[in-house]
Amino acid sequence: IRRAQRLCDMRGLSYAQNTLDSFMNAAIDAALAMQTMVLAAESLGLGCCCISQVRKRLTEMANLLNLPNGVFPIAGFVAGWPNEERDISQRLPSSIVLHQDKYDDSNLSSEIDKYDRRRHEARPLRNQINSSKYGTASFYGWSENVARRLAENSDLDNLKNFLTARGFDLT
């Protein structure tokens, strides 16, 4: 929101768009820009990694980057020349990601089960998250790993506090 606030200041107007929608627009624009950077870098043969862990250290990152109010770190981005050949992580099938005319996840369970098996064959997960709490699964696929991670409270609860302290209204 900083640039928008400054534009209004430059023209003698008060900024009235400090809203959740403006925040979403900024986050989506940043994600689109990052995806464009990934595509451009990969077209040149570079390897890329987007680092969401930045959001677990918001204040530290904002201080490191000297970010003013109205600016927030969304993710890190690394690009470089790969020194090894790696397989590409399998993505969820389009049958559960894309919806035509209406949202329909009636096939989610069967499609996730198939995806779990395919992904496990290519790259099995070795460490089970919090097995002392959830037990040890006989088959530990991607969806079990994700469900266990999502069943735990995230330390990203500080995101709203961070954003509010940095000038975001989010109403």
- Residues (pLDDT < 70) of the chain are 155-157
- Specify the pLDDT at position 110: 96
CA angle 77, 80, 84 (to 5 degrees): 120
- Per-residue pLDDT at 155: 64
> How long, in residues, is the chain?
171
Structure tokens at 140: 């530990």
Radius of gyration of the chain measured on its C-alpha atoms:
20
Q: What is the pLDDT of residue 157?
A: 58
Quick check: 1 and 150 in contact, CB under 8 A? no
CB 50 within 8 A of CB 36: no
Structure confidence at residue 170 (pLDDT): 79
